[in-house]
C-alpha cells in the first residue's frame, strides 16, 4: 500500500492520474497539494472528494515547510510531481510564473523530500525508508525535430526552445542532481502531448472542440504543419504507474503515443468527428444552435490561419522503446478511440467547460477565503 503526495492534482493530467490511481489502487492514500491557479479546478476531483483515502490541501509547492509537514504527517512514501505552469503561449508572454513554479517549486519539493526522507533518518542513524520522487516532465525539453529526424530517445541531448520547456528542463536537471548527489530515489518521465477529459480549453484540442460548438474561429498558428505526438491522458497515467512500480531509480522514461499529427490535420479530423456526432444525435443541434453543424454548414470553414507562435517548435516525436521494452508499456487507447471519447466527454460535460469559460469554476476557492 502506497501513500502518495500528488502535486498539481487539480489540473488536467494530475486529476486524471488521481482518478486512475484511486480506481486501480483503492487502498492507497492520496494527498493532493494544488495552488488552484487558473489551470487548477477543484471540481476535477469531485468524484474522489468524499473518499476517506483522499485529502486535498490548497497550497503552493514553493511553500517548503508545508510540503515537509505533509510528507511527515501523512507518512508519504511516493511523491508524484505534476504541478507546473504548462502553457507554452503563456510562457512567452509571462515567463516569471514558469521560473517560479517549475524551477523554484521543484527545488522546494526536492529540498523538502531530502529533509524528510534522507536527513532526518540519517540523524537518527536509521536506514532511509522506502521513498520515491517521481517527476513528470515533457518531450519538449528535447527541442524540435525536422520531418526526417529520428524521434527523441532518453539519450537525446536537451535543447529546450521556449521558456516553458527551458523551465521544465531545469527542473529535470535538479531532480537528476538530487539523485546523483544526495541519493534521493527519483524517476522522471518525459511524455508527449496529452489529450482527454478535463483538458483546459486554452490548449489546441479542447479549444477546437469548444470553439466549434460556439461557432468561433479555429486558430491555426503559421502554416499548421507543426507536428505533435498525441497520447490519451489515461495512457500517461498508466505509464507513470509502470515507472513507479517497475522503473529503475535514477532513470528517465519516455512515454508516447506513436501518433504524430500535423496540427491542421488534427483540427480537420476533430471538425469531422463533431459533424458526425451532430448527424447521429439531433438533440445536439438544439443544445448547440450556434455550431455550424446545427445548420448543416461545413465546420472546417471556421479554420483561420493566424500569426505563428514565436520560436514555434516544428515537430515532436517520442521513441518509447526503452519504456516499452523495460516496463512492458503500450498505450491502451488508439487515437481513433481516444479522440472519440474526448469529443464525447466535451459534448456531455458542457457544464464543466462553460464554468471554465465564465470563471465560475473558481467559486470554490473564492468561497474558502471570503469573510
Active site residues: 139-140, 164
Q: Which does 263 bind (CB under 5 to 8 A by kind): ligand TYD, ligand NAD, none?
A: ligand TYD
17 contacts: CB under 8 Å, gap ≥ 6: 6, 9, 80, 82, 236, 237, 240
Strand pairing category for 78-81 and 132-138? parallel
228 binds ligand TYD (CB under 6 A): yes
Residue with smaller CB distance to ligand NAD, 87 or 300: 87
Task: Kindly state the cell numbers that stand for 175.
Answer: 531532480
Per-residue contact flags (x/-) with ligand TYD for residues 82 to 121, judged by CB under 6 A: ------x---------------------------------
Query: What is residue 41's three-state secondary structure?
Result: coil
Contact 228, 309 (CB under 8 A): no
Only one residue has cell 497539494, namely 33
Element (H, E) at 72: helix 64-73
Residue numbers at the binding site for ligand NAD (CB under 6 A) = 7-8, 10-14, 33-37, 39-40, 60-62, 82-84, 86, 101, 105, 136, 138, 168, 191, 193-194, 200
Residue with smaller CB distance to ligand NAD, 82 or 278: 82
Q: Which does 226 bind (CB under 5 to 8 A by kind): ligand NAD, ligand TYD, none?
A: ligand TYD
Residue with smaller CB distance to ligand TYD, 19 or 203: 203
Can you tell me which of 102, 185, 190, 263 binds ligand TYD, judged by CB under 6 A? 263
Strand partners, 6: 32, 80
Per-residue contact flags (x/-) with ligand TYD for residues 172 to 201, judged by CB under 6 A: ---------------------x--------
DSSP 89-139: HHHHH-THHHIIIIIIIHHHHHHHHIIIIIIHHHHTTPPPPP-EEEEEEEG
Can you tell me which of 207, 285, 294, 303 binds ligand TYD, judged by CB under 6 A? 207
220 binds ligand TYD (CB under 6 A): yes
State in angstroms the smallest separation of the CB of 276 from ligand NAD.
25
231 binds ligand TYD (CB under 6 A): no
CA distance 235 to 29: 21
168 binds ligand TYD (CB under 6 A): no
Residue with smaller CB distance to ligand TYD, 64 or 162: 162
CA distance 89 to 331: 28
Exposure of 235 in the CB half-sphere (CA atoms within 13 A): 29
Q: What angle do CA 131, 135, 136 make, to 5 degrees?
A: 140
Q: Which does 82 bind (CB under 5 to 8 A by kind): ligand NAD, ligand TYD, none?
A: ligand NAD
Query: What is residue 32's three-state secondary structure?
Result: strand
- Residue 48 is given by DSSP the state G
Q: Which does 88 bind (CB under 5 to 8 A by kind): ligand NAD, ligand TYD, none?
A: ligand TYD
Binding residues for ligand TYD (CB under 6 A): 88, 193, 203-204, 207, 219-221, 226, 228, 263, 309
Amino acid at each position: 500500500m502506497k501513500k502518495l503526495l500528488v502535486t498539481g492534482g487539480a489540473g488536467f493530467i494530475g486529476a486524471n492520474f488521481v482518478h486512475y490511481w484511486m480506481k486501480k489502487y483503492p487502498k492507497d492514500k492520496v494527498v493532493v497539494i494544488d495552488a488552484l491557479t487558473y489551470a487548477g479546478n477543484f471540481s476535477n476531483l469531485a468524484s474522489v472528494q468524499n473518499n476517506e483515502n483522499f485529502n486535498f490541501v490548497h497550497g503552493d509547492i514553493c511553500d517548503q515547510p508545508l510540503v515537509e509537514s505533509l510528507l511527515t504527517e501523512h507518512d508519504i512514501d511516493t511523491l508524484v510531481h505534476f504541478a507546473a505552469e504548462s502553457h507554452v503561449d503563456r510562457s512567452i508572454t509571462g515567463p516569471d510564473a514558469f521560473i517560479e513554479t517549475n524551477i523554484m517549486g521543484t527545488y522546494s519539493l526536492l529540498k523538502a523530500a531530502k529533509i524528510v526522507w534522507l536527513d532526518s533518518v540519517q540523524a537518527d542513524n536509521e536506514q532511509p525508508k522506502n521513498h520515491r520522487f517521481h517527476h513528470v516532465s515533457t518531450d519538449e525539453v528535447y527541442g524540435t525535430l525536422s520531418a526526417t529526424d529520428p524521434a527523441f530517445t532518453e539519450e537525446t541531448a536537451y535543447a529546450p526552445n521556449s521558456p516553458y520547456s527551458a523551465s521544465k528542463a531545469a527542473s529535470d536537471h535538479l531532480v537528476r542532481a538530487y539523485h546523483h548527489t544526495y541519493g534521493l530515489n527519483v524517476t522522471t518521465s518525459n511524455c508527449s502531448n496529452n489529450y482527454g477529459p478535463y483538458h483546459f480549453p486554452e490548449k489546441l484540442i479542447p479549444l477546437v472542440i469548444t470553439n466549434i460548438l460556439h461557432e468561433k474561429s479555429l486558430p491555426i498558428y503559421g502554416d499548421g504543419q507543426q507536428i505533435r505526438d498525441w497520447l490519451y491522458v489515461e495512457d500517461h497515467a498508466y505509464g507513470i504507474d509502470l515507472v513507479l512500480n517497475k522503473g529503475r531509480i535514477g532513470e528517465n522514461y519516455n512515454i508516447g503515443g506513436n501518433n504524430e499529427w500535423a496540427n491542421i490535420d488534427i483540427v480537420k479530423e476533430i471538425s469531422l468527428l463533431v459533424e458526425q456526432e451532430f448527424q447521429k444525435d439531433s438533440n445536439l443541434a438544439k443544445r448547440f444552435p450556434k455550431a455550424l453543424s446545427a445548420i448543416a454548414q461545413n465546420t472546417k470553414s471556421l479554420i483561420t490561419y493566424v500569426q505563428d507562435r514565436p520560436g514555434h517548435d516544428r515537430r515532436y516525436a517520442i521513441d518509447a522503446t526503452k519504456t516499452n521494452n523495460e516496463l512492458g508499456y503500450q498505450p491502451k487507447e488508439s487515437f481513433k478511440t481516444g479522440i472519440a471519447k474526448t469529443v464525447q466527454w466535451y459534448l456531455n460535460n458542457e457544464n464543466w467547460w462553460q464554468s471554465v469559460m465564465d470563471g465560475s469554476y473558481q467559486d470554490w476557492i473564492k468561497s474558502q477565503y471570503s469573510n
